[in-house]
């Protein structure tokens, strides 16, 4: 009977040990998925997406460019970064179908407010709608966060 108790204790210790090691590896995987260093060299190949990574140690502030050959961590303040993002956003806008524009001279604001659905209650909501983009924190274009990107990061992709 004592032998069975020892065996049960050993099995329990082994299960706990495996669980602790597995959770430690999961933390390492998450930390490895951010940019810890950046460089200033300009990307020459076409960009298929990008993500702005905020500083959250050990991660540094960076723009992560996605290309067919992989992901590249680039310095947020490098002089060419803003230009590349704007070029990417313009090419993406040109590639997407343009919305139907009314032929009248009504302002965009009047069109938006006249077609907006009324609020469901008379009390204003303290939080913005989930579909609205976050407030921009820099001169770079602001993009909504996705459920796949960690908080404080934004991502854009052609996919």
pLDDT digits 0-9 by tens, 1-28: 667 777 667 655 555 444 545 554 444 3
Place of tokens 């934004």: 154
Rg of the chain on CA atoms, in Å: 24
Structure-block tokens of residue 48 = 């298929």
Residue pLDDT, tens place only, 41-62: 999 999 999 999 999 999 999 9
Please tell me whether residue 73 adopts helix, strand or coil conformation: strand
Residue 118 lies in a domain: no
Residue 78 lies in a domain: yes
Residue 110 lies in a domain: no
Residue 68 lies in a domain: yes
- Give the per-residue pLDDT at 159: 53
Residue pLDDT, tens place only, 115-125: 344 443 333 33
Domain count, the chain: 2
**Reading across the β-sheet that carries 154-157, which strands appear in turn?**
70-75, 62-67, 49-53, 154-157
Distance (Å, rounded) from C-alpha 135 to C-alpha 142? 7
- Residues facing 72 on adjacent strands: 65
Do 10 and 84 lie in one domain? The reply is no
Residue 130 lies in a domain: no
Residue 121 lies in a domain: no
Please tell me whether residue 25 adopts helix, strand or coil conformation: helix
Do 18 and 79 lie in one domain? The reply is no
The answer to whether 49 touches 158, Cβ cutoff 8 Å, is yes
What percent of the chain has pLDDT above 90?
38
Do 79 and 147 lie in one domain? The reply is yes
Do 87 and 51 lie in one domain? The reply is yes
- Give the per-residue pLDDT at 12: 52
Checking if the pLDDT of 147 tops 70, the result is no
Would you place residue 107 in the very low, low, confident or very high pLDDT band (cuts 50, 70, 90)?
A: very low
Do 86 and 10 lie in one domain? The reply is no
Residue 22 lies in a domain: yes
Do 75 and 17 lie in one domain? The reply is no
- Give the per-residue pLDDT at 39: 94
Average pLDDT over residues 61-71: 96
Do 146 and 70 lie in one domain? The reply is yes
Average pLDDT, the chain: 66
- Using omega within 30 degrees of 0 as the cis cutoff, is the peptide bond preceding 35 cis? no
Do 89 and 48 lie in one domain? The reply is yes
Residue 52 lies in a domain: yes
Please tell me whether residue 99 adopts helix, strand or coil conformation: coil
| Domain around 58 | 35-95+141-159
């Amino acid at each position: 009977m004592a032998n069975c108790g020892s065996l049960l204790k050993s099995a329990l210790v082994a299960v706990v040990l495996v669980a602790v090691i597995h959770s430690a590896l999961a933390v390492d995987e998450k930390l490895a998925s951010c940019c810890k260093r950046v460089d200033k060299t300009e990307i020459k190949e076409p960009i298929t997406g990008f993500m702005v990574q905020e500083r959250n140690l050990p991660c540094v502030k960076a723009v992560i460019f996605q290309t067919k050959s992989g992901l590249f961590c680039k310095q947020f303040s490098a002089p060419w970064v803003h230009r590349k993002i704007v070029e990417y956003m313009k090419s993406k806008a040109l590639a997407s179908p343009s919305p139907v524009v009314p032929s009248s001279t009504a302002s965009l604001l009047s069109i938006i407010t006249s077609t907006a659905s009324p609020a469901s209650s008379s009390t204003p909501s303290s939080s913005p709608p989930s579909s609205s983009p976050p407030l921009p924190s820099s001169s770079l274009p602001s993009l909504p966060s996705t459920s796949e990107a960690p908080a404080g990061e934004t991502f854009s992709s052609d996919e």
